[in-house]
Amino acid sequence: MLIEYRKPIRLIGAAAVGGSMELSGPLGEYLDLAYTDDLFDADSWESAEANMVRYAIERALYKLSFRPNDVDLLLAGDLLNQCTASSYGAADFGIPYCGLYNACATFALGCLIAGLAIESGAIRRAIALSGSHFSGAERQYRFPLEYGCQRTPTAQRTVTACGCAVFSDRDPVEAAPIYLTRAMPGTIVDFGIKDTANMGAAMAPAAAKTLLDYLNATGTAPGDYDRILTGDLGWIGAGHFKELCAQNGVVLDHNYLDCGTQIYKKDQDVHSGASGSGCSAFYLCGYLEKVWRKTPFARVLLIGTGALMSPLTIQQKQSIPAIAHAVEFGKEPII
Protein backbone atom coordinates (compact mmCIF):
# COMPACT_ATOMS: atom_id res chain seq x y z
CA MET A 1 0.00 0.00 0.00
CA LEU A 2 1.98 2.97 -1.31
CA ILE A 3 1.19 6.38 0.16
CA GLU A 4 2.16 9.44 -1.87
CA TYR A 5 2.02 12.72 0.01
CA ARG A 6 0.61 15.43 -2.22
CA LYS A 7 1.20 18.27 0.23
CA PRO A 8 4.74 19.65 0.61
CA ILE A 9 5.34 18.06 4.01
CA ARG A 10 8.81 18.74 5.32
CA LEU A 11 10.94 17.61 8.18
CA ILE A 12 11.54 21.12 9.48
CA GLY A 13 13.65 20.29 12.49
CA ALA A 14 14.94 17.44 14.59
CA ALA A 15 16.84 16.70 17.74
CA ALA A 16 18.62 13.64 19.09
CA VAL A 17 19.55 12.87 22.67
CA GLY A 18 21.88 10.04 23.63
CA GLY A 19 23.94 8.36 26.31
CA SER A 20 27.64 7.82 26.89
CA MET A 21 28.17 4.81 24.61
CA GLU A 22 26.45 6.64 21.76
CA LEU A 23 28.51 9.76 22.39
CA SER A 24 31.74 7.81 22.04
CA GLY A 25 30.45 6.11 18.89
CA PRO A 26 31.14 7.36 15.34
CA LEU A 27 27.97 9.51 15.29
CA GLY A 28 28.45 10.95 18.78
CA GLU A 29 29.18 14.45 17.48
CA TYR A 30 25.74 14.58 15.83
CA LEU A 31 23.86 14.30 19.11
CA ASP A 32 22.16 17.53 20.16
CA LEU A 33 22.44 16.55 23.80
CA ALA A 34 24.41 13.73 25.37
CA TYR A 35 24.67 12.57 28.95
CA THR A 36 27.71 10.74 30.21
CA ASP A 37 25.53 9.49 33.05
CA ASP A 38 22.93 7.19 31.55
CA LEU A 39 20.50 8.07 34.35
CA PHE A 40 19.66 11.42 32.68
CA ASP A 41 19.04 13.23 36.00
CA ALA A 42 16.57 10.52 37.07
CA ASP A 43 16.75 7.88 39.81
CA SER A 44 15.54 4.89 37.82
CA TRP A 45 16.12 3.63 34.27
CA GLU A 46 12.45 4.06 33.42
CA SER A 47 12.47 7.70 34.49
CA ALA A 48 15.78 8.15 32.71
CA GLU A 49 14.17 7.07 29.46
CA ALA A 50 11.24 9.41 30.08
CA ASN A 51 13.68 12.28 30.70
CA MET A 52 15.39 11.47 27.43
CA VAL A 53 12.05 11.86 25.64
CA ARG A 54 11.42 15.13 27.47
CA TYR A 55 14.83 16.56 26.55
CA ALA A 56 14.46 15.50 22.92
CA ILE A 57 11.13 17.33 22.56
CA GLU A 58 12.53 20.38 24.39
CA ARG A 59 15.57 20.50 22.14
CA ALA A 60 13.59 20.12 18.92
CA LEU A 61 11.14 22.85 19.92
CA TYR A 62 13.96 25.11 21.08
CA LYS A 63 15.88 24.75 17.82
CA LEU A 64 12.77 25.79 15.89
CA SER A 65 11.83 28.52 18.39
CA PHE A 66 8.47 26.82 18.83
CA ARG A 67 6.28 26.63 21.88
CA PRO A 68 4.54 23.33 22.62
CA ASN A 69 1.19 24.66 21.41
CA ASP A 70 2.68 25.28 17.95
CA VAL A 71 2.58 21.51 17.48
CA ASP A 72 -0.78 19.78 17.02
CA LEU A 73 0.16 16.15 17.35
CA LEU A 74 2.84 14.12 19.09
CA LEU A 75 3.32 10.56 17.87
CA ALA A 76 5.71 8.76 20.19
CA GLY A 77 6.70 5.28 21.20
CA ASP A 78 9.39 3.26 22.95
CA LEU A 79 10.17 -0.27 24.07
CA LEU A 80 9.03 -0.18 27.68
CA ASN A 81 5.82 -1.90 28.74
CA GLN A 82 2.78 0.25 27.97
CA CYS A 83 5.03 2.86 26.28
CA THR A 84 5.62 4.57 29.61
CA ALA A 85 8.79 6.43 28.64
CA SER A 86 6.97 8.33 25.92
CA SER A 87 3.85 8.98 27.98
CA TYR A 88 5.69 10.15 31.09
CA GLY A 89 8.17 12.17 29.06
CA ALA A 90 5.48 13.87 26.98
CA ALA A 91 3.18 14.59 29.91
CA ASP A 92 4.44 18.10 30.66
CA PHE A 93 4.07 19.56 27.18
CA GLY A 94 0.32 19.49 26.71
CA ILE A 95 0.69 18.49 23.06
CA PRO A 96 -2.11 16.16 21.83
CA TYR A 97 -0.48 12.76 22.19
CA CYS A 98 -0.78 9.38 20.50
CA GLY A 99 1.30 6.54 21.91
CA LEU A 100 2.57 4.20 19.21
CA TYR A 101 4.07 0.76 19.41
CA ASN A 102 5.75 -1.05 16.57
CA ALA A 103 8.91 -1.94 18.46
CA CYS A 104 11.95 -0.59 16.61
CA ALA A 105 9.85 0.41 13.57
CA THR A 106 8.03 2.98 15.69
CA PHE A 107 9.94 5.95 14.34
CA ALA A 108 9.20 5.11 10.70
CA LEU A 109 5.57 4.52 11.65
CA GLY A 110 5.47 7.88 13.43
CA CYS A 111 6.78 9.67 10.30
CA LEU A 112 4.23 7.83 8.16
CA ILE A 113 1.29 8.82 10.36
CA ALA A 114 2.59 12.38 10.87
CA GLY A 115 2.55 12.72 7.08
CA LEU A 116 -1.00 11.39 6.84
CA ALA A 117 -2.17 13.71 9.62
CA ILE A 118 -0.72 16.79 7.93
CA GLU A 119 -1.93 15.60 4.54
CA SER A 120 -5.47 15.48 5.91
CA GLY A 121 -5.30 19.20 6.63
CA ALA A 122 -6.42 18.77 10.23
CA ILE A 123 -2.90 19.03 11.68
CA ARG A 124 -0.46 21.88 11.11
CA ARG A 125 2.62 20.36 12.61
CA ALA A 126 3.30 16.92 13.98
CA ILE A 127 6.17 15.33 15.90
CA ALA A 128 7.37 11.78 15.34
CA LEU A 129 9.48 10.58 18.23
CA SER A 130 11.00 7.33 19.34
CA GLY A 131 13.51 6.37 21.98
CA SER A 132 15.01 3.42 23.76
CA HIS A 133 17.33 2.94 26.71
CA PHE A 134 19.80 0.08 27.05
CA SER A 135 19.26 -0.41 30.77
CA GLY A 136 15.47 -0.20 30.61
CA ALA A 137 15.37 -2.71 27.76
CA GLU A 138 17.78 -5.07 29.51
CA ARG A 139 15.57 -5.13 32.59
CA GLN A 140 12.45 -5.77 30.61
CA TYR A 141 13.60 -8.19 27.94
CA ARG A 142 16.72 -9.88 29.29
CA PHE A 143 18.52 -10.20 32.61
CA PRO A 144 19.17 -7.81 35.50
CA LEU A 145 21.82 -5.30 34.47
CA GLU A 146 24.58 -6.55 36.74
CA TYR A 147 23.96 -10.21 35.98
CA GLY A 148 27.11 -11.72 34.52
CA CYS A 149 26.47 -13.52 31.27
CA GLN A 150 27.91 -13.71 27.80
CA ARG A 151 26.16 -12.61 24.65
CA THR A 152 26.07 -14.57 21.44
CA PRO A 153 27.74 -12.94 18.41
CA THR A 154 24.30 -12.28 16.91
CA ALA A 155 23.10 -10.21 19.88
CA GLN A 156 22.72 -6.44 19.50
CA ARG A 157 22.95 -3.62 22.01
CA THR A 158 19.85 -1.51 22.59
CA VAL A 159 20.64 2.09 21.77
CA THR A 160 20.34 4.66 24.56
CA ALA A 161 19.00 7.46 22.43
CA CYS A 162 15.88 9.34 21.48
CA GLY A 163 15.15 11.11 18.22
CA CYS A 164 12.47 13.72 17.70
CA ALA A 165 11.43 14.95 14.24
CA VAL A 166 9.05 17.84 13.57
CA PHE A 167 7.00 17.80 10.36
CA SER A 168 5.09 20.68 8.84
CA ASP A 169 3.59 21.79 5.52
CA ARG A 170 3.80 25.49 6.34
CA ASP A 171 6.63 27.62 7.83
CA PRO A 172 9.32 29.23 5.63
CA VAL A 173 11.14 26.67 3.49
CA GLU A 174 14.70 25.93 4.62
CA ALA A 175 17.77 26.19 2.39
CA ALA A 176 17.96 22.42 2.04
CA PRO A 177 14.44 21.13 2.68
CA ILE A 178 13.74 17.50 3.54
CA TYR A 179 10.41 16.53 2.04
CA LEU A 180 8.46 13.54 3.18
CA THR A 181 7.42 12.19 -0.19
CA ARG A 182 6.21 8.60 0.05
CA ALA A 183 5.59 5.89 2.59
CA MET A 184 4.51 2.31 2.75
CA PRO A 185 3.15 0.58 5.86
CA GLY A 186 4.51 -2.95 6.09
CA THR A 187 2.81 -6.25 6.68
CA ILE A 188 3.70 -8.65 9.47
CA VAL A 189 6.16 -11.30 8.33
CA ASP A 190 7.11 -14.33 10.40
CA PHE A 191 9.78 -16.69 9.10
CA GLY A 192 9.79 -18.79 12.23
CA ILE A 193 12.90 -17.40 13.96
CA LYS A 194 12.68 -17.90 17.73
CA ASP A 195 16.06 -16.67 18.92
CA THR A 196 15.68 -13.28 20.63
CA ALA A 197 19.45 -12.91 20.56
CA ASN A 198 19.21 -12.85 16.77
CA MET A 199 16.51 -10.31 16.06
CA GLY A 200 18.24 -9.01 12.96
CA ALA A 201 17.59 -12.37 11.35
CA ALA A 202 13.96 -12.31 12.50
CA MET A 203 13.39 -8.85 11.00
CA ALA A 204 15.34 -9.25 7.74
CA PRO A 205 12.49 -11.03 5.86
CA ALA A 206 10.03 -8.26 6.79
CA ALA A 207 12.49 -5.60 5.64
CA ALA A 208 13.11 -7.46 2.39
CA LYS A 209 9.40 -7.80 1.72
CA THR A 210 8.75 -4.11 2.31
CA LEU A 211 11.69 -3.06 0.14
CA LEU A 212 10.65 -5.36 -2.73
CA ASP A 213 7.03 -4.19 -2.50
CA TYR A 214 8.16 -0.58 -2.36
CA LEU A 215 10.44 -0.83 -5.39
CA ASN A 216 7.66 -2.62 -7.22
CA ALA A 217 5.00 -0.05 -6.37
CA THR A 218 7.17 2.94 -7.23
CA GLY A 219 8.79 1.32 -10.27
CA THR A 220 12.24 2.22 -8.99
CA ALA A 221 15.53 0.37 -8.58
CA PRO A 222 17.94 0.59 -5.62
CA GLY A 223 20.26 2.74 -7.72
CA ASP A 224 17.63 5.51 -7.81
CA TYR A 225 18.21 6.27 -4.14
CA ASP A 226 21.13 8.06 -2.55
CA ARG A 227 20.71 5.95 0.52
CA ILE A 228 18.60 2.97 1.43
CA LEU A 229 18.53 2.56 5.18
CA THR A 230 17.19 -0.26 7.30
CA GLY A 231 16.41 0.38 10.94
CA ASP A 232 18.29 -2.01 13.18
CA LEU A 233 19.14 -5.30 11.51
CA GLY A 234 22.74 -5.17 12.71
CA TRP A 235 25.71 -6.63 10.83
CA ILE A 236 24.33 -10.14 10.75
CA GLY A 237 20.72 -9.20 9.99
CA ALA A 238 21.84 -6.84 7.23
CA GLY A 239 23.70 -9.76 5.65
CA HIS A 240 20.54 -11.88 5.68
CA PHE A 241 18.56 -8.94 4.30
CA LYS A 242 20.92 -8.42 1.37
CA GLU A 243 20.87 -12.10 0.59
CA LEU A 244 17.06 -12.26 0.64
CA CYS A 245 16.90 -9.24 -1.67
CA ALA A 246 19.46 -10.77 -4.02
CA GLN A 247 17.44 -14.00 -4.15
CA ASN A 248 14.56 -11.88 -5.44
CA GLY A 249 16.67 -10.15 -8.04
CA VAL A 250 17.41 -6.91 -6.16
CA VAL A 251 21.11 -6.36 -5.64
CA LEU A 252 21.98 -3.78 -3.00
CA ASP A 253 25.13 -1.79 -3.49
CA HIS A 254 27.14 0.49 -1.24
CA ASN A 255 24.23 2.96 -1.04
CA TYR A 256 22.59 0.49 1.34
CA LEU A 257 23.28 0.98 5.04
CA ASP A 258 21.81 -0.38 8.23
CA CYS A 259 21.44 2.22 11.00
CA GLY A 260 22.31 -0.48 13.55
CA THR A 261 25.78 -0.84 12.04
CA GLN A 262 26.50 2.89 12.15
CA ILE A 263 26.02 3.89 15.76
CA TYR A 264 28.81 2.00 17.50
CA LYS A 265 32.40 1.31 16.63
CA LYS A 266 33.24 -2.33 16.21
CA ASP A 267 35.61 -2.20 19.18
CA GLN A 268 32.79 -1.09 21.50
CA ASP A 269 31.96 -4.77 22.02
CA VAL A 270 28.38 -4.59 20.78
CA HIS A 271 28.50 -7.84 18.76
CA SER A 272 26.14 -7.50 15.81
CA GLY A 273 25.55 -3.76 16.28
CA ALA A 274 22.86 -1.47 17.62
CA SER A 275 19.13 -2.05 17.94
CA GLY A 276 16.15 -0.46 19.62
CA SER A 277 13.51 2.04 18.68
CA GLY A 278 15.98 4.86 19.28
CA CYS A 279 18.33 3.45 16.65
CA SER A 280 16.79 4.71 13.40
CA ALA A 281 15.42 7.78 15.19
CA PHE A 282 18.92 8.76 16.31
CA TYR A 283 20.40 8.11 12.88
CA LEU A 284 17.76 10.19 11.12
CA CYS A 285 17.24 13.02 13.62
CA GLY A 286 20.84 13.22 14.73
CA TYR A 287 23.02 12.39 11.77
CA LEU A 288 21.03 12.48 8.53
CA GLU A 289 19.14 15.69 9.22
CA LYS A 290 22.36 17.61 9.93
CA VAL A 291 24.25 16.17 6.99
CA TRP A 292 21.31 16.80 4.66
CA ARG A 293 21.24 20.52 5.49
CA LYS A 294 24.83 20.82 4.28
CA THR A 295 24.75 18.50 1.28
CA PRO A 296 21.19 17.58 0.32
CA PHE A 297 20.35 14.06 -0.77
CA ALA A 298 17.96 13.57 -3.69
CA ARG A 299 16.17 10.52 -2.29
CA VAL A 300 16.59 8.57 0.91
CA LEU A 301 14.52 5.52 1.79
CA LEU A 302 14.22 4.51 5.44
CA ILE A 303 12.87 1.07 6.24
CA GLY A 304 12.17 0.93 9.96
CA THR A 305 12.27 -2.65 11.22
CA GLY A 306 10.55 -3.97 14.33
CA ALA A 307 10.36 -7.33 16.10
CA LEU A 308 6.91 -7.65 17.60
CA MET A 309 7.42 -10.30 20.27
CA SER A 310 7.12 -9.94 24.03
CA PRO A 311 9.10 -11.75 26.75
CA LEU A 312 6.02 -13.90 27.39
CA THR A 313 5.50 -15.05 23.81
CA ILE A 314 9.17 -16.00 23.69
CA GLN A 315 8.89 -18.03 26.90
CA GLN A 316 5.90 -19.73 25.30
CA LYS A 317 8.21 -20.75 22.44
CA GLN A 318 6.41 -18.72 19.81
CA SER A 319 8.34 -17.35 16.87
CA ILE A 320 9.10 -13.66 16.35
CA PRO A 321 6.75 -11.76 14.02
CA ALA A 322 8.40 -8.76 12.41
CA ILE A 323 7.32 -5.63 10.60
CA ALA A 324 8.99 -3.04 8.40
CA HIS A 325 7.59 0.33 7.41
CA ALA A 326 9.11 2.38 4.60
CA VAL A 327 9.27 6.18 4.46
CA GLU A 328 10.97 8.13 1.72
CA PHE A 329 12.50 11.57 1.98
CA GLY A 330 13.47 13.73 -0.97
CA LYS A 331 14.82 17.17 -1.75
CA GLU A 332 11.72 17.96 -3.81
CA PRO A 333 8.02 17.29 -3.17
CA ILE A 334 6.23 14.91 -5.53
CA ILE A 335 4.24 17.61 -7.30
Partner 1 sequence: MNKVDKIRSQYQQKVKISAAGQHIFRDCLRAFWVGGAICAFGEALNAFYRFLGADVERSGLFTSVSLIFLACFFTAIGWFDEAARYAGAGTLVPITGFANAIASPAIDAKREGLVTGMGAKLFLVAGPVILYGTSLSVLYGLILYLLRLFGADLPEV
Binding site for partner 1 (CB under 8 A): 43-44, 139, 143-154, 191-193, 195, 198, 201, 205, 236, 239-240, 243-244, 269
Taking each helix axis as running N to C, give the angle between helix 134-141 and helix 45-63, from 0 to 180 degrees, rounded to the nearest 10: 140
Q: How far is the CB of 32 from partner 1 (least distance, A)?
A: 28
Answer for the pair 139, 158: CB distance below 8 angstroms, yes or no: no
| 118 or 323: CB nearest partner 1 | 323
Q: How far is the CB of 202 from partner 1 (least distance, A)?
A: 8
| 54 or 271: CB nearest partner 1 | 271
Q: How far is the CB of 80 from partner 1 (least distance, A)?
A: 14
Q: How far is the CB of 95 from partner 1 (least distance, A)?
A: 28
Give how far Cα 26 sits from Cα of 124, 197, 212, 286, Å.
35, 24, 30, 12
Return left, alpha or beta for 307; rule: phi > 0 is left, psi -120 to 50 is alpha, else beta.
beta
Q: How far is the CB of 144 from partner 1 (least distance, A)?
A: 4
| 40 or 66: CB nearest partner 1 | 40
| 12 or 155: CB nearest partner 1 | 155
Cα dihedral 58/61/66/70 (nearest 10): -90
How many Cβ atoms from other residues are within 10 Å of residue 260's Cβ? Answer: 34
| 2 or 42: CB nearest partner 1 | 42
- Cα 73 from chain centroid (whole Å): 18
| 6 or 194: CB nearest partner 1 | 194
Q: Rounded to the nearest 5°, which phi and psi values hold at 334?
A: -65, -45
Measuring CA to CA, which residue among 127, 228, 178, 175 is closest to residue 8? 178
Helix ranges, 79-182 (H): 84-90, 106-119, 134-141
How many Cβ atoms from other residues are within 10 Å of residue 171's Cβ? Answer: 15
Answer for the pair 73, 93: CB distance below 8 angstroms, yes or no: no
| 146 or 253: CB nearest partner 1 | 146
Q: How far is the CB of 101 from partner 1 (least distance, A)?
A: 23
Q: How far is the CB of 85 from partner 1 (least distance, A)?
A: 15
Amino acid at 6: R
